[in-house]
Amino acid sequence: VAEWLAMAFGFETTSNFLLSAAVIVLLIMEIKNSVLISKHENRIKTLLQELSIMKSEENKKDR
CB 24 within 8 A of CB 17: no
> What are the φ and ψ backbone dihedral angles of 20, each rounded to 5 degrees?
-65, -40
pLDDT at 63 over 90: no
CB 39 within 8 A of CB 46: no
Which residue segment(s) compose the domain that 9 sits in? Answer: 2-62
Q: What average pLDDT does the chain have?
A: 97
Residues in the chain: 63
CB 19 within 8 A of CB 12: no
Name the CA radius of gyration of the chain, rounded.
25
Into how many domains does the chain fold?
Answer: 1
Q: Return the pLDDT at 62.
A: 85
What type of residue sits at position 54? M
pLDDT digits (tens, 9 = 90+) for 44-57: 999 999 999 999 99
